[in-house]
A and B are shown apart, each in its own frame.
Chain A
Amino acid sequence: MSHLLREFAPITSAGWAEIDDEARERLAPGLAARKLVDFSGPHGWEHSATNLGRTEKVGDPPGDGLSAVRRRVLPLVELRAGFSVSRAELADVDRGARDADLDALDEAARRLAAAENRAVFHGWDAAGIVGIAEASEHEAIALGDDCERYPRHVAKAVEALLAAGIDGPYGIALGPDAYTRVLETSEHGGYPLLQHLREIVDGPLVWAPGVDGAVVISLRGGDFLFESGQDISVGYDHHDAGAVHLYLEESFSFRVVTPEAAVRLNP
């Protein structure tokens, strides 16, 4: 039995299948970081830290004529989003209902996806994670509200990456506001802006809840490393007469290896 304690939940195989399928469906669209950065793992729940290959001095070795260093590691963070499912809804799933109310799960999936994106792109101080946008060594470009100027801004970002010797293809993580504006806009002649931006970067443009503005990054690989311990899973917390209380959980670390491989576009 794993630490997720799924076997203790008063949920049938059909109920679990419904919950897992719904979670997968709701998570995938919003997990923007996984569409752009290198993914390693999953290495398992027991995997606690990422090897940074670096050391730091340790003072006062216990004896004369000694020196000591300590390995530096990046601990994995455990991220959890709780939600509840009505037991009556689960009973209906067992009867064959195809329209179970899993709104709380959907909301938890949105929270988790946005949090993962935010940690990767904007960092998470308390967890020791430096985000791509914060680490970028390039001057930030102001995105603004005028969509017609977006191709120029993105082209400028690509030019900055090329000038720094960072090869493509590139990709763009677009925050929800900017993404909606891009989606709604056609340039002169009716050509979709979305398509034009994709052609400039020669790569994907992804919807990235949790991201402010946008980030253009190289997809050549080796620059941005997401390390998964336990990949996103559904676990059991407790239950009462009316509901089963569950959670979405994952453990991960993230580190930027090449800060110059991304350009931030501020909102």
Chain B
Amino acid sequence: MGFDQYHEPAHELPDDVRTFARLCASLTEEAEAIGWYEQRLAVESDRAAAAIMRDAQGEEFKHFCMDLEFLLRRTPLWRDIARGILFCEGDIVAHGEEAEEAAVEGAGERGDDVVGSGSLGIGSLRQAAR
């Protein structure tokens, strides 16, 4: 068994980063499986076999979404950007650019940990003042 999900020596990584890396690897595997089932379904002529694979692909959809939700909960900046792109009608690239700009700017104003600084993320409290 390999440990390819770690780009840095695993013993130097804190627990939460190792968990994060595992879920990133899992997300990748689910996406690969979804693609594989898509290809198999495209060439399968046996209806019963196709039904089973369609059901299996549905499982991968679910796993992919659960992995993604976990990662987004752990990464507020990623979540903010995703919120501006996912389930939005219109130009995906334009939404992406706008969401990234707004999310990074917002994170900076809040003092969020954008680059892994270890900050408590307090930042400006202007919005909190009554």
A residues within 8 Å of B by Cβ? Answer: 1-2, 4, 6-7, 12-13, 20, 23-24, 27-28, 31, 34-36, 38-39, 41-42, 44-45, 171, 198, 203-204, 206, 219, 228, 230-235
A39-B111, A230-B117 given; name 16 further pairs at CB < 8 Å: A1-B12, A4-B118, A6-B118, A13-B15, A35-B125, A36-B126, A36-B129, A39-B123, A42-B119, A44-B115, A203-B129, A206-B129, A228-B111, A230-B119, A231-B119, A233-B119
B124 interface contact, C-beta 8 A? yes
The reply to whether A34 and B122 contact each other, CB–CB distance below 8 Å, is yes
The reply to whether B125 and A231 contact each other, CB–CB distance below 8 Å, is no
The reply to whether A231 and B123 contact each other, CB–CB distance below 8 Å, is yes
How far does the Cβ of A135 sit from chain B's closest Cβ, in whole Å?
20
B14 interface contact, C-beta 8 A? yes
Q: What chain A residues lie within 8 Å of B35 (beta carbons)? A: none
The reply to whether B12 and A34 contact each other, CB–CB distance below 8 Å, is no
Chain B residue total in the interface (Cβ 8 A): 22
B109 interface contact, C-beta 8 A? yes
B46 interface contact, C-beta 8 A? no
| Chain B: CB-nearest residue to A33 | B125
B88 interface contact, C-beta 8 A? no
Residue from A38, A42, A206 with most neighbouring chain B CB atoms (10 Å) = A42
